[in-house]
Chain A
Amino acid sequence: MANDPIHQFQISKLIPIEIGGLDFSFTNSAAFMVATVAASGAFLFLTTSSRGLVPGRLQSISEMLYEFVASMLRDAAGSHGMKFFPFVFSLFMFVLVGNLLGLFPYFFTITSHIIVTFALALLVIGTVIVYGFWKHGLGFLKLFVPSGVPAVLVPLVVLIEVVSFLSRPVSLSVRLFANMLAGHITLKVFAGFVTSLSAFGVAGMAGAVLPFVMVVAITGLEILVAFLQAYVFAVLTCMYLNDALHPGH
């Protein structure tokens, strides 16, 4: 079906690889992840290779991205957090470029699969947990015990805080995934209206202008959403890293 809005999310194996009964195939999703990394890396490398003292247009885009993430991380986690800058910046660029690449027609959107976003979120939370325990030892567990709680309520509050902590990777991944999925399905549905209306001759073509305008508008909105979601992902990463750096304040 050409008009099936789910079809764009199907994964196809480009190079089937199977090792020990496990499927390690190189899929279109993997291909677009490679493309994302290559595109963002090449963009950053090429635009900054001239190292102009007065940046050109593309170089200032790179510098703006750098400054944007750096100030975000400094605000959220303080100057101690700057050692995580490469991590946060790579995540931000990966999500942002992945979202934007997905907006091209016939391209695959890697962030519209929950397993991808969930893996990213687990990476963030794993970093927080490992670094927190490595830096503070068992003192990291103070994160779950707010100060000034009556002793009777402590077990209840600790349980609630633990569940709240565990819900972080879920909400982080589901938000990104749901936004991208819903946006792309909406785009596809409206684009489908255009083709099926224009099959009805001249009157249909005149009517198809409305959904076409809608598609253009939604594409603009999707570019904004792609940026916003990458931004939110990075901001929340910074806030969670802040918990690892300063538990219990």
Chain B
Amino acid sequence: MANGDQPNDLDRRRRELEAALASRRPKEPEGGGDSKSDGVGGFGNALRLSSEFIAGIVVGAGLGWFIDRMAGTSPWGLIVFLLLGFAAGVLNVLRSAGLVADFGSRAPKRAPDAGDEN
């Protein structure tokens, strides 16, 4: 009996989860970008995602270096903030790919995971 119930139950839960996720996902930021030809749009998107990612790392490393310089905690500031910057970069990518809602609206599910991996 439990076996007969389980797939249905799982299906129902998955549907609910999908509906909940769909309502929470932010709208695609690019309305006009999609109407462009696919190659250029994809290329632009890839450039955008990579620049978001790199910006996170660069800002993290810069902040860490600056804090080290000011507080004399070398090298720990650089280490900690580079890793934080990495997590922020992944968060940026997820955010611009539309997987995580925008600032402040809900818990970013995966970014803390990415941070913990370090």
Contact = CB atoms under 8 A, between A and B. Distances in A.
A167 B88 CA distance: 8
A146 B107 contact: yes
A interface residue count range (under 10 / 10 to 19 / 20 to 34 / 35 or more): 35 or more
B111 interface: yes
B77 interface: no
Contacts of A236: 29
Interface of A: 68, 72, 75-76, 142-149, 153, 156-157, 159-161, 163-168, 170-171, 174-175, 178-179, 221, 224-225, 228, 231-232, 235-236, 239, 242-243, 247-249
Given A148-B106, A171-B51, A235 B30 contact: yes
A38 B85 CA distance: 40
Nearest to A142: B104
B interface residue count range (under 10 / 10 to 19 / 20 to 34 / 35 or more): 35 or more
Contacts, number: 119
B78 interface: no
Contacts of A143: 103-104
B40 A148 contact: no
Given A156-B112, A160-B88, A171-B51, 4 more contacts: A72-B32, A164-B91, A224-B40, A242-B102
